[in-house]
Chains A and B, each alone.
Chain A
Amino acid sequence: MNALTGNSLKISRVNIVSKKFQRHSPSGNSVTLKSPNTSTNFQPIRATVTGGADSGETHSTVLSTESARDQLRPDMAASPDVTDGRIAGISAAIRVIPDFPKPGILFQDITTLLLDPKAFKDTIDLFVERYKDKDISVVAGIEARGFIFGPPIALAIGAKFVPIRKPNKLPGEVISEEYSLEYGTDKMEMHVGAVQAGERALVIDDLIATGGTLCAAISLLERVGVQVVECACVIELADLKGRDRLGDRPLFVLVSSI
């Protein structure tokens, strides 16, 4: 864990720790590999945050250990996966901020991962290893945190990078896809001509929650004849069932949390 120990921010232990790692067998079914159960992988989750972006007050929020334990998935013994060490470091580097952007939400903050060069590199390497021989010519990244992970992956696998953006950001001619929010709708846009029919694409974002933005991005690409090979995210919020919303489109995540 990095140096985010300034006066007003204390993380006793970083969050969520269900290291579920999904792989797809050649037949296309998804298989869940569980990392071995070692005592170091599971600790009570406690995030203490003092201070807030918009107030001078200090408050601390402690998640109860009991509810934290409910969130931990007991592992079945398995032979050590060579990627385990990297996943543990990645998971540990993600910071949880309670009640952001609104009360009751536990925000998964990847900025702390970006402050850890080894963990950040491991994150990219895990994606690159998976995709480099899959004939992927397009990496589409979703604004704005998809812009952080997408380009390094694209550069490493020889693909182009295509930003998928909120409305009115892209300057040229665009196609738009609307998607539903909890209240109302929003839109994602992609430049006309960025991708060609028949190209094989990945869609990247830092996190999948309900899957709404990922679905919109997939639609944009499929509408112009691109094959979306897989969606890839660092984090999955499993109980929001984004995976279901993606339907039969494959999803690959590094860390899954509830």
Chain B
Amino acid sequence: MFAAETELKEDPRLQAIFEAIRVIPNFPKPGIMFQDITTLLLNHKVFKDTVDMFVDRYRDMDISVVAGVEARGFMFGPSIALAIGAKFVPLRKPKKLPGEVISEAYELEYGTDCLEMHVGAVQPGERAVVIDDLVATGGTLSAAIKLLERVGAEVAECACVIGLPQFKVKLDSVYMLVFHLPFNQILTIYLFFG
């Protein structure tokens, strides 16, 4: 669900967050409109508002784990974790985490990739939020959810700054602050509800 569909509908912070995101055409390849959050990070007030909006949502939800997806999830997750008193767990590409890990493969447009989490980082019964800067197909978030569920944690929600309209994977609970459409393009939007 988008923040604008909740009681935050008229919140002026959402417009500022939307405007702080830069769109870079044809990155990483032609036809892709890349949603660049680095410009948001350069604006202290907007960055703080972004974190605050997630903190306000999760502080009373009994969350003990914030799992951030490498690498842009690392830019938002720790601040949220610190504010709500949760631990921060990095979910990383293969071979980055030094200790024993569990892995979950997921599909890319061409081929597969893998997300890893340290064994022992999360205990059964813990409630977790997964954070990333953006959700597109939902493949990465899906893999993240599976990693946490495999060790017995409950994923209360996934949280992303930006939501794009091309969900291919059914995700029950994703909370997004802003919605970005690629501009200057004829759009066909596929929304898959599983």
- Verify B98–A152 contact, CB threshold 8 A: no
Query: Inside 8 A of B12's CB, which chain A residues have their CB?
Result: none
- Verify A114–B44 contact, CB threshold 8 A: no
Q: Which residue in A49, A54, A194 is a CB contact (below 8 Å) of B42?
A: A194
Query: Inside 8 A of B89's CB, which chain A residues have their CB?
Result: 111, 114-115
A-B contact count, CB below 8 Å? Answer: 135
B71-79, B138-146, B157-165, B175-183: which lies at the interface:
B71-79
User: Which residues 43-101 of B have a CB within 8 angstroms of A?
Assistant: 43-44, 47-48, 51, 70-72, 74-76, 78-79, 81-82, 85-90, 92, 95-101
Bound form: Cα–Cα A70–B95 in Å? 31
Bound form: Cα–Cα A121–B42 in Å? 23
* Shortest distance from the beta carbon of A235 to any chain B beta carbon, whole Å: 13
A171 interfacial by beta-carbon distance below 8 Å: yes
A181 interfacial by beta-carbon distance below 8 Å: no
Query: Inside 8 A of B75's CB, which chain A residues have their CB?
Result: 147, 151, 161, 163
- Verify B82–A161 contact, CB threshold 8 A: no
Query: Inside 8 A of B15's CB, which chain A residues have their CB?
Result: none
Q: Which residue in B41, B70, B85, B97 is a CB contact (below 8 Å) of A117?
A: B85
- Verify B99–A172 contact, CB threshold 8 A: no
B28 interfacial by beta-carbon distance below 8 Å: yes
Q: Which residue in B34, B79, B99 is a CB contact (below 8 Å) of A95?
A: B99
For B42, B51, B89, the residue with the greatest tally of chain A CB atoms inside 10 Å of its CB is: B42
Query: Inside 8 A of B85's CB, which chain A residues have their CB?
Result: 117
Bound form: Cα–Cα A115–B99 in Å? 14
A2-10, A13-21, A29-37, A211-219: which lies at the interface:
A2-10
B192 interfacial by beta-carbon distance below 8 Å: no
* Shortest distance from the beta carbon of A91 to any chain B beta carbon, whole Å: 18
Contacts A3-B120, A145-B74 known; 14 new A-B pairs at CB < 8 A: A4-B121, A9-B100, A100-B98, A109-B98, A115-B88, A115-B89, A120-B87, A147-B72, A147-B75, A152-B78, A155-B44, A155-B47, A155-B48, A161-B47
Whose C-beta in chain B lies nearest to the C-beta of A54?
B95
* Shortest distance from the beta carbon of A37 to any chain B beta carbon, whole Å: 31
Between-chain CB contacts (< 8 Å), 27 pairs: A3-B120, A9-B100, A49-B100, A97-B99, A101-B98, A111-B90, A114-B89, A115-B89, A115-B121, A117-B85, A147-B71, A147-B72, A148-B78, A148-B90, A152-B79, A152-B82, A154-B41, A154-B44, A160-B44, A161-B42, A162-B42, A163-B38, A170-B38, A171-B34, A172-B22, A172-B38, A194-B38
Residues of A that sit less than 8 Å from B by CB:
2-6, 8-9, 49, 51-54, 95, 97, 100-101, 107, 109, 111, 114-117, 120-121, 124, 143-145, 147-149, 151-152, 154-155, 158-163, 165, 168-172, 191, 194
B123 interfacial by beta-carbon distance below 8 Å: yes
Interface residues of B toward A: which range? 35 or more
B136 interfacial by beta-carbon distance below 8 Å: no
For A5, A115, A116, A169, the residue with the greatest tally of chain B CB atoms inside 10 Å of its CB is: A115
Query: Inside 8 A of B71's CB, which chain A residues have their CB?
Result: 143-144, 147, 165, 169
Query: Inside 8 A of B86's CB, which chain A residues have their CB?
Result: 117
- Verify B87–A151 contact, CB threshold 8 A: no
Q: Quick one: given A117-B87, A147-B75, A148-B88, are A158 and B44 in contact (CB under 8 Å)?
A: yes
- Verify A155–B51 contact, CB threshold 8 A: yes
- Verify A148–B74 contact, CB threshold 8 A: yes
- Verify A9–B99 contact, CB threshold 8 A: yes
Query: Inside 8 A of B38's CB, which chain A residues have their CB?
Result: 162-163, 170, 172, 191, 194
- Verify B42–A53 contact, CB threshold 8 A: no
Query: Inside 8 A of A147's CB, which chain B residues have their CB?
Result: 71-72, 74-75
Q: Which residue in B43, B70, B78 is a CB contact (below 8 Å) of A151?
A: B78
Query: Inside 8 A of B24's CB, which chain A residues have their CB?
Result: 171-172
B36 interfacial by beta-carbon distance below 8 Å: yes
